[in-house]
Amino acid sequence: MNAEKTQMIEYIIRRIRKPGVKIDESTPLFSSGLVDSLALADVLVKLEDLTHTRIPPGMVQPQDLETVDIMFATVERVGKPAK
């Protein structure tokens, strides 16, 4: 697992305030209820910061951020380099 994915997992654990929870690259985040809708914006911002990209509005749905692996694949697909 690369450093950015590790940082994202650490961020999500802090954001959902569950220090003991086990999250890896393939843990379902939204369909499982671990991450709620109002946290979507924060996760997306963190993802953009970690990958130095911008993801335009309307290009992603919650399922595109369902796991850490999927969200990094989403960046590859729709992310634009940050200015």
Partner 1 sequence: MTAGAEDNPTNLIDALAAAPAESPFVTAWVNEAKFERVTFGEFRRRSGLQACALRVQEIAAGDRVVIIMPQGISAMTVFVGAMMLGAVPAFLAYPNIKIEPAKYRSGLAGVTANLKSKLVVIDENFPAEMLGHVTLGEEARLLRVSDRGDLHARIGSEKSDENRTQDIAIPGDNIAFIQHSAGTTGLQKGVALTHTAVLRQIEYLRKALKIHGQRDRIYSWLPLYHDMGLIACFMLPMVCHTELVIQVPLDWVMHPASMLQVISRHKCTLAWLPNFAFQFVARRACREPEQQYDLSSIRALINCSEPIRASSMQEFERAFTGIGLKSGVLHTSYAMAETVFAVTQSDVNRPSGPARIWADGGKFRRSHRVVPVEEGTAGAVCFVSSGRLLPNTEVRIVPENGTGRSLEQGQRAAPGQVGEILVKSDCLFEGYYNRPDLTAKAIVDGWYHTGDLGFMLEEELYVIGRKKDLIIVGGENIYPQDIEEIVASHPAIHEGRAVALGAYNPDTGTEDIIVVAEVEEEALLANAAAIEQELRSRVIAAMGIAVATILLKPPKWIVKSTAGKPARSTTFEKLLREHPEFDTASEASR
Closest contact distance (angstroms) between CB of 69 and partner 1 is 19
- Cβ atoms within 10 Å, residue 56: 9
- In whole angstroms, what is the distance from residue 49 CA to residue 52 CA? 5
Contact between 56 and partner 1 per CB under 8 A: yes
CA 21, 45, 18 angle in degrees (round to 5)?
A: 15
Closest contact distance (angstroms) between CB of 73 and partner 1 is 17
Residue closer to partner 1, measured from CB, 1 or 73:
73
Contacts with partner 1, residue ranges (CB under 8 A)? 14, 16-20, 30, 36-38, 40-42, 44-45, 56-62
